[in-house]
């Protein structure tokens, strides 16, 4: 059974005039992989430096096997903790085998040479990191990915219980990133090593970490399983960006995609726009409206429609309907209910058939109820008429009732912005 090996208890750290960490508390068991995330300046690297005793917290303790790290000697700390930085420089042309063997220094006695056992441990570390074939080459001859594997091998030669990675893959190409992270995760499980890794890439953090900590201004904003931490609300609050979070189809981990439009404008404050759309024709203007501070509702859309998916991802209220069926009376009534609450209705450029004709009737209802309707009409009516030629009649009725026809979403947005400002 895995036992608690590392305990961080209420640590605070400050530089003169600036508090960097505040009340950071968590614990870890052997074999766990923890990802540390947060914006620049949130305290990620400072936290790792406190864990390795490179910095001493003003308040709180770091306990390894119940022992305060500040009471351990440098050799004792090095036997427990290995550190892999972003980049590593070596002043002399050391061979790979020599650098890895340096990891045995915490285990050797003063003024004594390495033993056969030390050489065996170093060789095993090179084998595990797949660099045995590089053993006679010098460090400065290696690629970035090869160098990181050497530094990891040196850390493994220390036989640590805890491995700290400070954005250790940030400068590597995508292939090397996965190679290094796969290696470290496998070692964590096989050898029951605690791994604590700082990440900038939220998706890599979710894919490789058992647990995550999200730091914000030196405090733990969220901590837990990846799906508990990587929520749109947590990310918006910490990084000030709107995202869509889905489940990765292969790894089943959270997958974060930034939204191209941030909902930060006050232009549309207090106004609601109801969308009548379909086939992906409404996705762009939904984001434009949200970007400009409008509330948005939409319907009726079948639940497989891409506009339905966009609305759900953006947390827009949407009336859904079963695919390949006509809009039911209940769905139509729900759509009308949303229209009654709206300040504007936008009809996008989508195909009209018997199944969704009630959406055009809903637009006609909006005009009868004195709700302004803007129709985006950029394609020939014959290309979207699937009701036997009757669509033109419905569009003429919309025109007669003072619907505004425009050619693109931007024009529709400009009209809504102008009207909302009056």
pTM of the model: 0.63
Beta strand pairing call for 272-276 and 295-302? parallel
Residue 265 has pLDDT above 50, yes or no: no
In this prediction, residues 186-191 reach a mean pLDDT of 90
CATH 3.40.50.450 domain residues, the chain:
272-421
- Give CA–CA dist 277/190, Å, rounded: 53
Question: Which stretch of 134-138, 242-246, 306-310 has the lowest confidence by average pLDDT?
Answer: 242-246
Q: What is the dihedral of CA 43, 164, 130, 75, to 10 degrees?
A: 140
State in Å, rounded, how far the first CA of the chain is from the last one.
68
DSSP-derived secondary structure for 221-256: EEEESHHHH--HHHHHHHH---EEEEE-TTT-SEEE
- Give CA–CA dist 157/215, Å, rounded: 31
Q: pLDDT at position 141, please?
A: 87
Q: Give the sign of the dihedral formed by CA 117, CA 123, CA 125, CA 128.
A: negative
Phi, psi of 195, rounded to the nearest 5 degrees: -120, 130
Report the chain's mean pLDDT, rounded to a whole number.
Answer: 89
How many Cβ atoms are within 10 Å of 222's Cβ, its own excluded?
19
Q: pLDDT at position 170, please?
A: 77
With cut-offs at 50, 70 and 90, classify the pLDDT of residue 26.
very high
Residue 272 has pLDDT above 90, yes or no: yes
Tokens 């009654």 locate to 340
Residue 263 has pLDDT above 50, yes or no: no
CATH 3.40.50.300 domain residues, the chain:
4-241
Q: Give the sign of the dihedral formed by CA 46, CA 50, CA 56, CA 59.
A: positive
Helices 409-421 + 283-291 axis angle, to 10: 30
Top-level CATH class of 4-241? alpha beta
Architecture of the CATH domain 272-421:
3-Layer(aba) Sandwich (3.40)
Judge contact between 50 and 11, C-beta under 8 A: yes
């Amino acid at each position: 059974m895995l036992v608690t090996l590392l305990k961080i208890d209420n640590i605070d750290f400050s530089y003169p005039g600036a508090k960097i960490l505040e009340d950071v508390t968590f614990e870890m068991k052997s074999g766990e992989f923890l990802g540390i995330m947060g914006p620049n300046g949130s305290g990620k690297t400072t936290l790792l430096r406190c864990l390795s005793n490179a910095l001493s917290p003003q308040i709180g303790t770091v306990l390894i096997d119940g022992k305060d790290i500040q009471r351990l000697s440098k050799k004792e700390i090095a036997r427990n903790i290995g550190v892999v930085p972003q980049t590593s420089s070596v002043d002399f042309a050391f061979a790979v085998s020599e650098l890895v063997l340096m990891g045995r220094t915490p285990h050797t006695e003063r003024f004594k040479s390495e033993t056969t056992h030390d050489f065996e441990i170093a060789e095993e570390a090179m084998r595990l990191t797949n660099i045995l074939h590089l053993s006679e080459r010098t460090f400065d001859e290696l690629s970035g990915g090869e160098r990181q594997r050497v530094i990891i091998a040196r850390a493994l030669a220390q036989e640590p219980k805890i491995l700290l990675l400070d954005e250790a893959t940030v400068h590597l190409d995508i292939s090397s990133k996965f190679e290094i992270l796969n290696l470290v995760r496998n070692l964590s499980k096989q050898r029951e090593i605690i791994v604590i890794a700082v990440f900038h890439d939220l998706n890599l953090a979710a894919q490789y970490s058992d647990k995550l900590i999200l730091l914000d201004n030196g405090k733990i904003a969220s901590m837990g399983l990846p799906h508990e931490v990587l929520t749109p609300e947590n990310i918006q609050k910490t990084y000030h960006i709107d995202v869509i979070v889905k489940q990765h189809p292969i790894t089943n981990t959270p997958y974060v995609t930034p939204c191209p439009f941030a909902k930060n404008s006050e232009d549309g404050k207090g106004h609601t726009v109801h969308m009548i759309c379909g086939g992906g024709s409404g996705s762009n203007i939904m984001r434009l409206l949200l970007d400009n501070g409008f509330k948005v509702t939409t319907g009726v859309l079948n639940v497989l429609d891409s506009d339905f998916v966009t609305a759900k991802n953006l947390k827009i209220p949407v009336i859904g309907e079963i695919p390949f069926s006509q809009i039911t009376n209940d769905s139509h009534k729900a759509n009308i209910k949303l229209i009654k609450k709206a300040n504007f209705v936008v009809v996008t450029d989508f195909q009209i058939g018997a199944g969704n004709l009630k959406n055009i009737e809903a637009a006609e209802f909006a005009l009868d109820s004195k709700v302004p309707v803007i129709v985006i009409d950029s394609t020939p009516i014959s290309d979207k008429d699937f009701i036997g030629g009757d669509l033109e009649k419905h569009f003429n009725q919309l025109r007669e009732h003072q619907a505004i026809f425009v050619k693109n979403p931007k024009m529709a947005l400009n009209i809504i912005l102008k009207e909302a400002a009056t």
